[in-house]
Amino acid sequence: MAEQEPSKNQQLYLLAIAGVIIVILIALWLLFAKEQTVEPTVNLMPPVVNEPVQQEPEPEPATKVTETSPETDIAEPVIAVEPEATVAPEPAIPALDDSDAEVRQRLLSLDWRPGLASLFVTEDMLRSFAVQVDNIAQGQLAAGSALLQPLEQKFTVEDGAKPQLDEASFKRYEPYIQLLESVKPAQLVALFNRYEPLLQQAYAELGYPDQLFKNKLIEAIDELLATPDVNYPLALERPAVVYVFADPAIEQLPAAQKQMIRLGPDNQQRVKALLRQYRQQLQ
């Protein structure tokens, strides 16, 4: 009997340990089952010591759970992912001498009012633009380097004791203003941003290698916006071949501002509204 007592105590001790292990494993299973994960297989058999110990049958959970592999435990809906649209990169800008073809194509592809895009001069476009901007910023108008086709109708005056600026002359500018109003300034500013390096090169050719062309463009806009409001009708004089404004204050204005006055009061305000939009876009 003395030799059998340690064996019996040892069996009870091992059974107690096995019971604790089973309780812990069940608790862990319940915990991780809530998170829908699967524990790796655990050997529930206690270590064999001398005599074999008969294990108690492992209690089964009330609800039978089918184990799945960790890779397929959580079923997620399959979402079809559409491939991202491939955006072709912008081609490199051409050389200044070879830029007319691309500038013409991109400019004329904008949504201009039908029948008016033909008013653009499409030769040496970037250099002409740089020349005109430089002159307007100084209050002048360049005789050459035209950006738009010349007016079809001639300048007219109202004859009388004192000739006046004819209101019929204001209507000559209507197609040009409609042309400029038909495309949003943001679209033209986008073209400016693409060709700004070429415009900077064309501006440097004029003798300004260290000045920023964009600043000169804003100066030109400000020069036109500074055109004073005047009261129409405006009296004219003809001391020589051409007519001049009878009011010395108007006649002494920069040439670019006098041209704004020749547009007429309504056209001038429409152009100024466009210029303010362009100035805001450029900044």
Residue-wise pLDDT for 210-267, tens only, equals 999 999 999 999 999 999 999 999 999 998 889 999 999 999 999 999 999 999 999 9
pLDDT at 52 over 90: no
Share of the chain above pLDDT 70, in %: 70
Global confidence as pTM: 0.69
What confidence category does residue 54 fall into, taking pLDDT thresholds of 50, 70 and 90? Answer: low
Q: What residues contact residue 281 under an 8 Å CB cut-off, 6+ apart?
A: 185, 186, 189
- Does 102 score more than 70 pLDDT? yes
| Stronger pLDDT, 63 or 144, i.e. the higher one | 144
**Is residue 132's pLDDT more than 60?**
yes
Mean pLDDT score, 2-7: 47
What's the mean pLDDT when you consider all of the chain? 81
Q: How large is the average pLDDT for residues 159-172?
A: 87
Query: Which pLDDT score is estimated for 162?
Result: 84
162-176 exposure pattern, b = at least 16 Cβ within 10 A, e = fewer: ebebbeebbebbebb
**What is the tens place of the pLDDT at every residue in 71-81?**
545 555 566 66
Instruction: Output the pLDDT for position 152.
Output: 87
The reported pLDDT for the residue numbered 136 is: 98
| pLDDT band (50, 70, 90) for residue 177 | very high
User: Residue with structure tokens 């501006």?
Assistant: 203
Q: How far apart are CA 83 and CA 168, in angstroms?
A: 59
pLDDT at 19 over 60: no
pLDDT at res. 241: 87
Residue 26 has, within 13 A of its CA and on its CB side, a CA count of 12
Q: How many residues appear in the chain? A: 283
Question: Residue 145: left if φ>0, alpha if ψ -120 to 50, beta else—which one?
Answer: left
- Both tokens of 233, joined, read 């009708």
Residue 87 has pLDDT above 80, yes or no: no
- Provide the pLDDT for residue 17: 46
Task: Look at residue 100 and tell me whether its pLDDT is greater than 50.
Answer: yes
- 3-class SS string, the chain: CCCCHHHHHHHHHHHHHHHHHHHHHHHHHHHHHHCCCCCCCCCCCCCCECECCCCCCCCCCCCCCCCCCHHHCCCCCCCCCCCCCCCCCCCCCCCHHHCHHHHHHHHHCCCCCCCCHHHECCCCHHHHHHHHHHHHHCCCCCCCCCCECCCCCCCCEECCCCCEECHHHHHHHHHHHHHHHCCCHHHHHHHHHHHHHHHHHHHHHCCCCCCCHHHHHHHHHHHHHCCCCCCCCCEEECCCCCCEECCHHHHCCCHHHHHHHHCCHHHHHHHHHHHHHHHHHHC
